[in-house]
Structure 1
Amino acid sequence: MHLSFRSKAKLLAVSLMLLSTVTWLYLGVGDAEYGQPSKLKAPRDSPKSYSQQELEARLQVAEEDNRKLRLQLADLRSEDLEDGKGSSRDNSSHCEQRSLAQKCELIHVAIVCAGHNSSRDVITLVKSILFHRRNPIHLHLITDSVALNILGNLFKTWKVPSLQISFYNASELKPEVSWIPNKHYSGIFGLMKLTLTKALPSDLSKVIVLDTDITFATDIAELWAIFRKFTGQQVLGLVENQSDWYLGNLWKNHKPWPALGRGFNTGVILLLLDKLRMIGWEELWRVTAERELMNMLSTSLADQDIFNAVIKSSPTLVYQLPCYWNVQLSDHTRSEQCYSELADLKVIHWNSPHKLRVKNKHVELFRTLYLTFLEYDGSLLRRELIGCPTDGEQEDNQEAELALLDEEDPCYDFRRERLASHRVHLSFLPHYTASTDPNDVTLVAQLSMDRLQMLELICRHWEGPMSLALYLSDAEAQQFLRYAQSSEVLQSRTNIGYHVVYKEGQLYPVNLLRNVALRNAQTPYVFLSDIDFLPMYGLYENIRKSVVEQDMANSPKALIIPAFETLRYRLAFPKSKAELLSMLDMGALYTFRYHVWEVGHAPTNFAKWRTATTPYHVDWAPNFEPYIVVRRDCPEYDQRFLGFGWNKVSHIMELDAKEYEMVVLPNAFIIHMPHAPSFDISKFRSSENYRLCVQTLKEEFHQDLSRRYGSRALKYLAAQQNQ
């Protein structure tokens, strides 16, 4: 006998009420007569006395039965709504019952991501998911080596609670699809979704598959809950394609792959992996692709063509998702029929090659939504899911370290911000440093948004590789991206690595930035400079020759590049040492910081440098902080030093403790260009507490140096006491 929805609903509702009533009578009536809250104890007239544990167990069973009945009732309501509305293509989601995944249920999401640009795109997608989510997420990322390096480091430093990441090597999947000719701009990676039954773990039963150009406007748990609606042979959940592509009428002689009606778009897919494996999915799509390629010769829309050809032959495999789960902003789209207002939108798909420049009458609305997540501070998404267990070893360690800090300590801010976890996005723009030169050298520096104008100038002075760490907010990172992409000078260079460290806290993490840039240099030697210095013309070749002459491969040395400065914003840059000396004599140039911090560079011995024709040795002295060339495996900077003060001095001191020989190059120089004082140097000058904290950190650094280097570090303590 077939029951109508109303009959089923009434039956379930009565069952739910009856079960709830029985539970209440059984567990709560004992105290109700006294007006007290019910307690977990047996009723007074019960023939058997139950323990507290037994009663709690019975209550849990009753609550679980209640939960199951509610889920069934919600599913019936959803089915009735779909029956009442007709096709799942309906353009409104107002009346749909919001059916979510169970609390704390783990949601699995698979994404294919390759290259620098795709690695940026996927972060915006992930932000939109994390913003709305209430459930733990497990991301399964199929990546090439570039994306693995970028995303592996980013998620490691992002430290989002209840977010698991698994990586899969795309290179291992290439043989599975490389035989398929593909005209789509996604290339071979656009075919890899076909291989997920093989690529993903065999015990993973279902997964949501997303393109990187997706933006979520709702909780992904709503989409995950749709798996419960699959029936019979349905193993694929897809939204109908919202253009006429598969109808074959877009232009004369347009011949698309076979599809069911308009076909389906594969930007959002629900995959029942266990059932797909049971029906032999790998063999099914291969046979279909081989058959169709005999006529079509290649795919035009990558995996989407093959998915549609399979569905054309086996339409019972597909569950058609409502179209608001994949609002497609492609060329010739009909997506306006999927929504009548913003509340209808659930997933936006930028599936046009033009991306944000696609023509659509509501594109400004969609662009605003996309930019919201593009520029959203990712650190704000580090929120815990209340009531859900976390694999929080890292979080626990950080919390334990923070708990040890004394909030009454005058230097509490310095100590707390040293423990801050900064998100790091390596290789923000494509770059290639494939040098095999054993003497090659990379310029290493760090900068913030207010020094961006120096990049083009440095590029004109230094033709070698550069590794730059940029301290930016999420919004500033997008400004930098637009600046770099519009600069002919920067676009002409492919040997510059830009590594974004996202802002966190109030103090400038100068030594963290230097270390990020240093770690990601890809040449045997590094020139540790600052962004405000312009190298002399030809310095790159000069250093490479000096590396050989000084036999740096076999001896620990630091080559010192003498530093000068100008107070003029417009400078006729000297083309030689002779011109520089002339400008020095005329007062157009000065030795660096001679008027405010002479001790920082005095040991370079500028008087000797004026006439020197060969490299010469200098000794370490207190507060010495020259700009140097060293092997890439040199000690890193001490990250306890934040903001202004002693950040380079401590590094030079450790190099000396490790017995690096310091050698000044006689025909090399850099010139510091003027700029407004930084926020941190202003605080150093105006705040006595700031200066006291720097002094405290210096003393602690000396103590640590003594523990590491023993008697070799005694001279630093003596020098400190004599100041």
Structure 2
Amino acid sequence: MSYKILLNLILLVSFLVIFYVVQTNKEQTDAFRNQQEFTDNLEAGFSTSVIKSNFSEVTKLPSVSVVDKYFNIWCIFTKVKSRSSSLRYKFETLIKSIFESSSIKLSFHIITDSKSQYFAEKIFDDINSSSTTPIEFKVQYHDVKNITSQLSGLTTTMLPYFSSQPGAYYSDALFFISLGLHRVAPAIQTRAVLLDVDTKLVDDIALLFQEFNRFGERAVLGIAPELSPVYQHILYSYRNRHKHTPLGSPLSLGGFPGVNSGVLLLHLDRLRASAEYNHLLTPQAVRRLANKYSFKGHLGDQDWYTLVGMDRPHLLHLLPCGWNRQLCDWWRDHGYRDVFDSFAYCSQRTRLYHGNCNTPIPRD
């Protein structure tokens, strides 16, 4: 009797061991299959990562191959108090113009505050709901206080040289964010376009991203020429000492008129890696450049980019003027009427309007 009991126990234990081994192998096989399917989905472009309607949510994509299918557009949108705000209207005009002609998937990054974010969300929602064709885009909001706090040291360095006075329009930390965006943008981003809120696309933004392919080997950012004599004015002392300098002269006459930061192409990985560029952001280097060119600006980040363009032109890729067709003619009536047209001249097709100094943008 005891022999039969022992035999039954042995058979039961053997069965349990065999069952455990089979089940474990099955779980491992299933786990491997799931992991393989996930990898295959990433390589194919995981479709569930696309945000079409619930765009206020953020999906972090785990694969560079997926992220690179989306083109990053940054914009600063703050201090909007009401629906009737001119800033709200400008932002809506910009976003609509991008969607009207875009042929690529877009990932928007909006630097904003809580109240302005409400209006931005409404604009994207209205565009998405009224579209007759599916729109593939994503939106991520970045708190402006957090961004400016991270870049406070950089702002402190720049303010004495590129702002007219404390409290002035361009003394706001917002106008220096672009200089350090490579430090705060997600590390997975390698390229990005930063647009002023007062711009309007009239061509496919995919063509603007193609300008990255035209960068020189050491270029870290793309920027269009300034189309006004503002830097001829700022460089007055330097030009008096250097009578034949091309600096501050119109591009149409072979000069370098400075640059305008309304449209920026930021090669983020190069900006992060460039020891030369990041050294130029230090207090000592900024002071040296400002003193070298007797430069006291008042236009924030674009003053800095202009200095870099004068001293280290290889770091910049000069965009065609048609990608930043500035409309402001303030300088025409403030001492530069005789030369204004030579600065404002742009022979290239207009692909983006820039309504700087509150200049109305053509509707068509």
Whether TM-score is above 0.5 comes out as: yes
In structure 2, what is the Cα distance between the partners aligned to 1:297 and 1:319? 22
Determine the structure 2 residue equivalent to 1:308.
306
Contact 2:117–2:141 (CA under 8 A) maintained in structure 1: yes
1:207 to partner: Cα distance: 0.7
C-alpha distance in structure 1 between counterparts of 2:189 and 2:234, whole Å:
40
Q: Report Cα offsets for 1:275-311 as digits up to 9, x if no partner.
A: 1100144442234434456797964011101111122
Structure 1's unaligned 5+ residue stretches are 1-103, 357-365, 370-723
Deviation (angstroms), 1:212 = 0.7
Contact 1:285 1:307 survives alignment (8 Å): no
Alignment of 1:355 with 2:350, yes or no, is no
C-alpha distance in structure 1 between counterparts of 2:288 and 2:114, whole Å: 33
Of the candidates 325, 330, 345, which is equivalent to residue 337 of structure 1? 345
Displacement of 1:150 after TM fit? 2.5
Residue 215 of structure 1, CA deviation: 1.0
Q: CA deviation at 1:230?
A: 1.4
State whether structure 2 residue 98 is matched by structure 1 residue 146. no
Are 2:272 and 1:277 equivalent residues in the alignment? yes
Instruction: Provide the aligned C-alpha RMSD in A.
Output: 3.1
Q: SS of 1:248's equivalent?
A: helix
**SS of the counterpart of 1:324?**
helix
- Give 1:132 shift: 0.8
> Greater RCO between the two (CA within 8 Å, min separation 6)?
2
Q: Secondary structure at the match of 1:155?
A: helix
Bigger helix share: 2
1:193 match: 178
Unaligned runs of 5+ in 2: 1-67, 130-134, 241-246, 249-254, 332-339
2:326 to 316, 328, 340: 328
Superposed, which structure 2 residues align to 1:485-524 within 5 Å? none
The one of 228, 234, 247 equivalent to 1:243 is 228
Q: 2:73 aligns with which of 109, 117, 120?
A: 109
Kindly tell me: are residues 252 and 195 of structure 1, through their superposed partners in 2, closer, same or farther at Cα, counting changes over 3 Å?
closer
Contact 1:106–1:137 (Cα < 8 Å) also in 2: yes
Q: Is the 8 A contact 1:177 1:188 kept in 2?
A: no
- The aligned counterpart of 2:90 is 121
Any idea what the Cα deviations from partners look like across 1:383-421, whole Å, max 9, x if unmatched?
A: xxxxxxxxxxxxxxxxxxxxxxxxxxxxxxxxxxxxxxx
Separation in 2, partners of 1:202, 1:246: 34
Q: Relative to structure 1, is the Cα distance of residues 299 and 172 closer, same or farther in structure 2, using a 3 angstrom cutoff?
A: farther
Mark the CA change 1:286 to 1:150 in structure 2 (over 3 Å): closer, same or farther.
Answer: farther
Residue 212 of structure 1 aligns to a residue whose secondary structure is: coil
Identity %: 24
In structure 2, the partner of 1:346 is: 351
State the alpha-carbon separation in 1 of the partners of residues 317 and 295 from structure 2.
Answer: 29
Which structure would you say has the larger Rg?
Answer: 1
Return the alpha-carbon distance in structure 2 between the equivalents of residues 121 and 127 of structure 1.
Answer: 10
Q: What does 1:113-512 correspond to in 2, within 5 Å?
A: 113-116=77-80, 117=85, 118-156=87-125, 158-159=127-128, 161-174=135-148, 175-179=152-156, 180-181=159-160, 182-183=163-164, 185-186=169-170, 187-248=172-233, 261-280=256-275, 281-287=277-283, 288-292=285-289, 299-331=297-329, 332=331, 334=341, 337-339=345-347, 344-352=349-357, 354-356=358-360, 366-369=361-364
Normalised by the length of structure 1, the TM-score is 0.32
> How far apart are residue 347 of structure 1 and its match?
0.8
Native 8 Å contact 1:195 1:282 kept in 2: no
The whole-number CA distance in structure 2 between the counterparts of 1:284 and 1:171 is: 25
Flag the 1:249–1:315 CA change in 2: closer, same or farther, 3 A. closer
Q: How many residues are treated as equivalent by the alignment?
A: 251
Letter aligned with residue 163 of structure 1: F
User: Structure 2: how far apart are the matches of 1:167 and 1:282?
Assistant: 26
- Report what 1:535 is aligned to: none
Alpha-carbon distance change, 223 to 253 in structure 1, aligned in 2, over 3 angstroms: closer
Cα drift, residue 240 of structure 1: 1.2
Q: State the Cα deviation string for residues 145-176 of structure 1 (Å, max 9, x = none).
A: 33223323543565362121111122123224
Aligned residue identity for 1:146: K
